[in-house]
Amino acid sequence: MTTATKWHIGFALLLLATALVVGSLAAFAFLLPDGIALIPFRQLRPIHVSAALFWIISGATAGLVHFKRVEFGETRGSMLYTGFLVLWIGTILAVFGFYAVNQYGGREYWEFPPLLAVPLLFAWLLLMADYFRAWLKRTPDPPLYVWMWSTGLLFFLITFIEQNLYQIPWFRDNYLREITVQWKSNGSMVGAWNQMIYGTALYLMVKLSGDEGIARGRKVFIFWFLGLSNLMFNWGHHIYNVPTAGWIRHVAYGISMAEWIFLINIIQGFRAKMTEQRIHRNIITYRFLLASEFWVFLNLILALLMSIPAINRYTHGTHITVAHAMGTTIGINTMILLASIGTMLGMDALPDKERRWIKIGRRITTVSLLVFWFALIAAGLLKGYRSVALGMTDFQAMMQPVNNVLYVFAYAGLGVLLGLGIVVWAYFNRLLQPSS
């Protein structure tokens, strides 16, 4: 592993630790606004969101860069990659600097002053130049994970630019266009980083099993194209209630329903998974990948239900949306990224005593996240029922019983902090060892 990659991983893990600590503080600041007066919720939320978002993107790119080096047979470091890293880390630190002095100016998930999008864009172009320069030299007929990495990198660029189109008055001067383009880009961007992360997950599965066939063949590509169609066209479920043209809603609804095929495929694959589980029981990478598949299953059911507009009417704008966001970012993305970083750091080569801590951390996380996830769903159901079915308009009265449920969520969040904190601590220790 190069020194640059070590910095990349270290920075990504630091972002995860920040997201966890600040997320827990934000949960209690939400419930007890007068209790944690030191940093108000309005300031904690963007710090938490940006740390989580940049953890996922930084973790995804760290895996992608490292494994593509192995895959493409690169032996030397790259100035393009170093340039990306300097610009990327520097700009993200500046983002937190602006939050620290209460300077915003952006929109949901990207609350920092919009000028900072420029260096982030340049950093991404450097990363793409580094990747595609090596990609061009590669032999034809690449396995699926290479397609996924390439598509993820390209679509992140497209959606990041789209996310900033509101700087052009033509987009901003029409509120329906403004909100549509904002959530079109946000929705597809999630699909873009999922391409990079799932590509790495597939790569790891191929290496674990030694079976290249997993990443080749007609069936896997058909499923991938189905997923890619979702990235491109199903973002409309974010804005079902916005009075846009009806076809935006109908296209999103139709495309989302194709996800039932994924669900059926997961259920059909359960038996094979059970056999696989017996073989790879003690491998850290595999256990994190398996945990992510469990969360894919749960979140897919939730996503499918939320994608039906008649149900979305009750869930939109409630904590069920948060459950879906947290379930996917922690349960799926973070688990895969921890598998990926664990492989890069060679965690499986550690003595059993040290690996045991990771196992404990993973178990605490899974149990806490389950409580956390169900509490958010319960809070969302309650809010949906009281606001839509009962038509309550007094916000504080409507939220009173919801907030009681959210205490369960906040305390379970401390469990997630503890569980993932143990894993992050073990990874940091390993990263700082000269032999890593």
Partner 1 sequence: MRTVWIILFVAFAGYTALVYTNGDAGRMEPATAQVRAGMDTWQQQNCASCHQLYGLGGYMGPDLTNEYQRAGEERMRAFMRYGSGRMPALELNDAEIDDLIAFLAWVDRTGSSQVSPENVHWSGTYFIKPTTP
Among 75, 139, 393, 435, binds partner 1 (CB under 8 A): 393
In whole angstroms, the minimum distance from the beta carbon of 28 to partner 1 comes to 13
Between 178 and 276, CB nearer to partner 1 = 178
Please measure the distance between the N-terminal and C-terminal CA atoms of the chain and give it in whole angstroms: 8
Q: What is the Cα–Cα distance from 82 to 430, expressed in whole angstroms? A: 22
Q: Is 309 in the site for partner 1 (CB under 8 A)?
A: yes
Residue in the structure block whose two tokens are 């990504």:
12
Residues of this chain, 132-151, that bind partner 1 according to CB under 8 A: 147, 151
Question: What SS3 class is residue 140?
Answer: coil
Identified binder of partner 1 from the candidate list 122, 317, 363, 407, rule CB under 8 A:
317
Q: Which stretch binds partner 1 (CB under 8 A): 313-321, 334-342, 366-374, 426-434?
A: 313-321
Compute the distance between CA of residue 270 and CA of residue 391 in angstroms, rounded to an integer: 42
- Interacting residue with partner 1 among 36, 121, 157, 181 (CB under 8 A): 181
Residues near 254 by Cβ (< 8 Å), separated by ≥ 6? none
Three-state DSSP state, 39: coil
Stretch that binds partner 1, among 15-23, 99-107, 202-210, 360-368 (CB under 8 A): 99-107
Residue type, position 342, single letter = G
Both structure tokens of 401: 């019983």
3-state secondary structure of 110: strand
Closest distance between partner 1 and the C-beta of residue 121, in Å? 19
d(CA 18, CA 48): 7
Shortest Å distance, C-beta 86 to partner 1 = 28
Closest contact distance (angstroms) between CB of 147 and partner 1 is 7
Q: 391 is written with which tokens?
A: 């038509």
Task: Please identify which residue in 8, 68, 184, 324 interacts with partner 1, judged by CB under 8 A.
Answer: 184
Place of tokens 């007066």: 37
Name the nearest CA neighbour of 413 among 323, 342, 335, 338.
323
Smallest distance from the beta carbon of 94 to partner 1, in angstroms? 17
Residue 101 binds partner 1 (CB under 8 A): no
**Burial class of 34 by CB neighbour count within 10 A (0 to 12, 13 to 18, 19+):** exposed
Residue 111 lies near partner 1 (rule: CB under 8 A): yes
Among 313, 390, 397, 400, binds partner 1 (CB under 8 A): 313
Beta strand segments in 82-236, E: none
The amino acid sitting at 282 is N
Which range binds partner 1 by CB under 8 A, 17-25, 122-130, 261-269, 308-316? Answer: 308-316
Q: By CB under 8 A, which span of 176-184, 279-287, 342-350, 364-372 interacts with partner 1?
A: 176-184
Q: How far apart are CA 193 and CA 156, in angstroms?
A: 7
97 is written with which tokens?
């600097």
* Residue 235 CA: distances (Å) to CA of 22, 77, 186: 28, 37, 8
Residues 6 or more apart whose Cβ sits within 8 Å of residue 190? 328
Q: Please give the residues from 205 up to 224 whose contact with partner 1 meets the rule CB under 8 A.
A: 221
Non-local CB neighbours of 66 within 8 Å, separated by 6+ positions: 1, 5, 344
Residue 220 or 431: the one with the smaller Cβ distance to partner 1 is: 220
Which C-beta is closer to partner 1: that of 152 or that of 342?
152
For residue 179, state whether it binds partner 1 (rule: CB under 8 A): yes
Residues 340-369 that bind partner 1 (CB under 8 A): none
Q: Which amino acid is at 164?
A: N
Number of residues that bind partner 1 (CB under 8 A): 63
The candidate with the shortest Cα–Cα distance to 78, out of 167, 176, 5, 181, is 5
Give the binding range for partner 1 (CB under 8 A) out of 7-15, 55-63, 225-233, 367-375.
225-233
Query: Helices 175-209 and 218-233: crossing angle, nearest 10°?
Result: 160
Binders of partner 1 among residues 240 to 299 (CB under 8 A) are 240-246, 248-251, 253
The residue (of 248 and 371) whose beta carbon lies closer to partner 1 is 248
Query: Is residue 306 a contact residue for partner 1 (CB under 8 A)?
Result: no
Minimum CB distance to partner 1 smaller for 306 or for 330: 306
Give the span between the Cα atoms of 157 and 66, in whole angstroms. Answer: 20
Asked if 108 is part of the footprint of partner 1 (rule: CB under 8 A), the reply reads yes
In which element (H, E) is residue 206 found?
helix 175-209
- 311 part of the interface to partner 1, by CB under 8 A: yes
400 belongs to the binding site for partner 1 (CB under 8 A)? no
Q: Contact residues for partner 1 (CB under 8 A)?
A: 30, 33, 40-42, 45-46, 104-108, 111, 147, 151, 162, 169, 171-177, 179-181, 183-184, 221, 225, 228-229, 232-233, 238-246, 248-251, 253, 308-311, 313, 316-317, 319, 322, 387-388, 393, 395-396
